[in-house]
């Protein structure tokens, strides 16, 4: 049995972008046993994929935010537990100094990763033992698939398969609601609240039920403001308490359709093959666009987009306004696109993704 350790610690969207590579591996090399080091907050999601034998949670974000003797002791204990296992190959698919540092803690025969021309931080590419050159201009899903295939020496073919359909089944609500995702971690990715209000009113007026999902208190407050602005109605809902990732996945799998910005849950909806409209401003479709078979990507056409910045440089630091790239994605057009995908579900992918070369 070949023992493999994967290092891909965050973020949630990047976790889902790794799943097609795991599906490839499971099909090409069923003899391999794969363990996965991932941030504790995302361990639940990493365990969903059938190719994963063991998830190894890590609290690196906390340790880095709170440096000191306590964090150092916790890291040492974690390292001792990790080194109880010997791995034939360790694969760092994150390409950062912090990820290659964690990868080098494992007992291993080989450490694979992106080379210095391909890694997100070039120095990380110098610290792996077997660096693979994979264009940073490719979509994250393709980069992960190519890296895994190169590290474990199997041919790559076919379209991306997230491997989640059999694991996460729809709960079967009737009628299925439209699920909206108004929250995200980057301020620059936020769609204006007034746009969410308009979209919700259009959906409610067409007879749909609407559910707003949230993950933080700030997102919950935002969702409640949207609900209040839509007026008293039982057809729009916000969960009273925070749901687990598995519960959220069930809601996304059972949704009539999903609308959200470039955030982990939007990518999860696409991976579950739920009809989804993704809203992109500061992040590039070519690298992180939705790739599910029923996905529509809407992107800003402003010359400054995508800027790949967490905060919009066109706004004052204390501004509560949405970034112009996101504000320019009008809710009436989103509703038009959403109606189209509801009427005629079919494989809709970004042209660049659909024509992406795996070679």
Condensed to tens digits (0 to 9), the pLDDT of residues 14-68 reads 999 999 999 999 999 999 999 999 999 999 999 999 999 999 999 999 999 999 9
Greater pLDDT, 173 or 86? 86
CATH class of 2-152: alpha beta
Greater pLDDT, 258 or 316? 258
| Helix/strand/coil for 145 | helix
Provide, rounded to the nearest whole percent, the portion of the chain with pLDDT above 90.
84
The sign of the torsion formed by the CA atoms of 284, 243, 247, 228 equals: negative
When pLDDT is cut at 50, 70 and 90, the band that residue 348 belongs to is: very low
* The token pair that represents 131 in the structure block: 């660096």
Q: What pTM does this model have? A: 0.87
Mean pLDDT of 133-137: 96
- DSSP 8-state symbol, 90: E
Res 83: pLDDT: 96
Average pLDDT taken over every residue of the chain? 91
Mean pLDDT of 173-190: 90
Q: Are 296 and 276 in contact (CB under 8 A)?
A: yes
Mean pLDDT of 126-151: 97
pLDDT at 142 over 80: yes
* In the chain, where the domains are located: 2-152, 178-354
Same fold, 2-152 and 178-354: yes
Cα dist from 114 to 21, 35, 37, 230, whole Å:
15, 19, 17, 48
Res 105: pLDDT: 97
Span 297-346, pLDDT tens digits: 999 999 999 999 999 999 988 888 999 999 999 999 999 999 998 886 54
CATH architecture of the domain 178-354 equals 3-Layer(aba) Sandwich (3.40)
Say how far apart CA 190 and CA 260 lie, in whole Å. Answer: 9
Tally the residues of the chain. 359
Burial class of 3 by CB neighbour count within 10 A (0 to 12, 13 to 18, 19+): middle
The contacts of residue 78 (CB under 8 Å, 6+ apart) are: 58, 59
Place of tokens 């935002």: 222
Span 217-235, pLDDT tens digits: 999 999 999 999 998 777 9
Identify the bridge partners of residue 39 per DSSP, sorted by sequence position. Answer: 58
Place of tokens 């994967």: 6
Res 172: pLDDT: 58
Span 153-172, pLDDT tens digits: 999 989 999 998 766 665 55
Greater pLDDT, 348 or 123? 123
């Amino acid at each position: 049995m070949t023992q493999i350790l994967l290092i891909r610690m965050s973020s949630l969207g990047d976790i889902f972008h790794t799943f097609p590579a795991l599906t490839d591996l499971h099909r090409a090399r069923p003899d391999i046993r794969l363990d996965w080091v991932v941030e504790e907050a995302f361990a639940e999601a990493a365990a969903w994929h059938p190719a994963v034998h063991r998830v190894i949670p890590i609290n690196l974000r906390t340790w880095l935010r709170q440096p000191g003797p306590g964090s150092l002791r916790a890291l040492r204990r974690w390292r001792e537990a990790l080194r109880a296992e010997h791995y034939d190959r360790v694969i760092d698919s994150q390409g950062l100094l912090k990820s290659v540092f964690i990868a080098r803690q494992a007992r291993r025969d080989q450490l694979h990763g992106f080379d210095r021309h391909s890694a997100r931080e070039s120095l990380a590419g110098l610290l792996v033992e077997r660096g693979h050159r994979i264009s940073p201009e490719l979509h994250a899903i393709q980069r992960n698939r190519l890296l895994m295939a190169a590290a474990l020496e199997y041919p790559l073919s076919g379209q991306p398969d997230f491997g989640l359909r059999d694991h996460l089944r729809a709960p079967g609500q009737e009628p299925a609601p439209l699920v909206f995702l108004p929250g995200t971690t980057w301020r620059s990715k936020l769609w204006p609240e007034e746009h969410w209000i308009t979209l919700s009113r259009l959906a409610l007026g067409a007879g749909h039920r609407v559910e707003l999902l949230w993950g933080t208190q700030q997102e919950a407050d935002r969702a409640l403001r949207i609900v209040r602005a839509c007026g008293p109605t039982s057809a729009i809902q916000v969960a009273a308490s925070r749901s687990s990732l598995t519960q959220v996945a069930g809601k996304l799998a059972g949704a009539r359709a999903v609308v959200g910005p470039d955030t982990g849950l939007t990518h999860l909806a696409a991976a579950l093959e739920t009809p989804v409209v993704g809203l992109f401003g500061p992040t590039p479709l070519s690298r992180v666009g939705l790739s599910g078979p029923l996905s529509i990507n809407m992107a800003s056409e402003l010359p400054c987009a995508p800027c790949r910045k967490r905060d919009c440089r066109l706004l004052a630091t204390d501004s509560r306004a949405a970034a112009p790239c996101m504000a320019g994605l009008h809710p009436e057009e989103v509703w038009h696109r959403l109606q189209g995908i509801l009427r005629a579900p079919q494989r809709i992918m970004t042209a660049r993704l659909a024509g992406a070369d795996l070679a």
